[in-house]
Amino acid sequence: MQSSRVTALDRCVVPGVDPGRVAATSERVVGLEEAVHLAEMFRLLGDPTRVRILYALLEAGELCVCDIAAVVDTNETKVSQAMRLLRAAGVVRNRRDGRNVFYRLDDSHIRMLLDVSRDHLAHAGDDR
C-alpha cells in the first residue's frame, strides 16, 4: 500500500518566509491591544438580537426601549441589557426625555460598519 502525504490547506507546502514582506506587514498590522478591543466590538455582533437592534436604530434613527423591543420582537428587559452593553462599548448613545430613554447609533462609523457588513453578506451570498 502506498502512503500518501496529506497537506492541510492552511499550511505552507514549501516552508519559507519572505523577510521583506513579513517585515513590512509587521510594521502595519494591528497591535495586540487594539486587536483585543476590535474583537470585543465584533463580539457584540455575535448575538442576533443585538444585531437586529442595531439595524433597527440604523433604519429608524432613534427609538426608545419599548419601541426597540416591539421592532425586534423581544422583551424590554433583553433590550435594556443589550443597550447597556452597546452603550458601554460606545456603539450607541442615549438621551433622556422625561421617563423615556431614547437610543441612536453613536456615529457614522457604526452606520458604515453595519452597511458594509450587510453588503458583504449579500456579496458572499452571490458567490455561493
Summarize pLDDT for 44-103 with one digit per residue, the tens: 889 999 999 999 999 999 999 999 999 999 999 999 999 999 999 999 999 999 999 999
Q: Which one, of 85, 66, 116, 110, lies nearest residue 124 by Cα?
A: 116
| Whole-prediction pTM | 0.79
Measured between alpha carbons, how far is 15 from 128 in angstroms, rounded to an integer? 32
Supply the range of the domain harboring residue 62: 31-127
When divided into structural domains, the chain yields a total of 1
In a domain, 6, yes or no: no
CA dihedral 53, 59, 63, 65 (to 10 degrees): -20
Measured between alpha carbons, how far is 117 from 111 in angstroms, rounded to an integer? 10
Going by pLDDT thresholds of 50, 70 and 90, the confidence category of residue 29 is: very high
pLDDT at residue number 75:
96
Q: What is the mean pLDDT of residues 22-27?
A: 90
In a domain, 19, yes or no: no
